[in-house]
Amino acid sequence: MFLPIKNFLDGLDVDSIPLSRKRELDQLTNYVNESLNKHQKAQLTFICTHNSRRSHLCQIWAQIAARFYEITDIHCYSGGTETTALFPRVAKTLKKQGLEITKSNKKENPKYYIEYSEVMPPIKAFSKLFEHESNPTSNFVAVMTCDHASENCPFIPGAEKRVGITYLDPKVSDGTPEQKAIYEERSTQIATEMKYVFSNVNSI
């Protein structure tokens, strides 16, 4: 793992997470433990309406947190109920936090290749529907990261479990002087919570 990423994760304080929130996150930890025991792997699909901000941040930080704790056979995905594009500020935020990112030349819905390790393949990030062919169709947990997607998509085919772990949309800061800070705050919150989830794998 790249040293800046390791140092970033080392500095995140999981004790700052409120107890009520930890109980929500424990649902995801429990699923990971159960799936590793049952399937020898765990597949997590993070779902938000546009698959442009929160679901990508969750996918990326969950995958990195699993590797941080050397938990193998964790596979993280993301999708939406609509297709748009990864919002550029997300990539800029992740880059500032230590990730190495390259972008395809495609103008609409470009693919971002996000690297966090010298040995692991990059995470490929682009907007897609949750049932996209690159996502699992069975034996996965559907993690709803926004209320809109949760309310408008009551059934996720193939999901073994459905968990609601929602986040405030950093989109509310777009076009304001607070945008940069808000995106960094949301990314850090998600990284902290994914660190908590995987710090408890096989211990809850």
Q: Where do the domains of the chain lie?
A: 3-199
- 79 by DSSP, 3-state: which? strand
pLDDT band for position 149 (cuts 50, 70, 90): low
Residue 174 CB neighbours (<10 A): 14
The rounded Cα 174 to chain-centroid distance in angstroms is: 20
What one-letter code names the amino acid at 168?
Answer: L
Helix (H) or strand (E) holding 55: helix 54-68
- 142 by DSSP, 3-state: which? strand
Q: Given CATH 3.40.50.970, say whether it is the number of domain 3-199.
A: no
What pTM value is reported for the model? 0.95
Handedness of CA 94, 96, 99, 101 (dihedral sign): positive
Residues 199 and 13: beta-carbon distance below 8 Å: no
Q: What's the pLDDT at 204?
A: 54
The CA–CA distances, whole Å, from 56 to 33, 39, 40, 52, 76 equal: 22, 25, 24, 7, 10
- 165 by DSSP, 3-state: which? coil
Tens digits of residue pLDDT in 166-175: 999 999 999 9
The rounded Cα 149 to chain-centroid distance in angstroms is: 15
Tens digits of residue pLDDT in 13-62: 999 999 999 999 999 999 999 999 999 999 999 999 999 999 999 999 99
Q: Which of 1-15, 67-81, 118-132, 139-153 has the lowest mean pLDDT?
A: 139-153
Pairing state between β 140-144 and 123-125? unpaired
Pairing state between β 140-144 and 159-164? parallel
Rounded to the nearest 5°, which phi and psi values hold at 113?
Answer: -110, 115
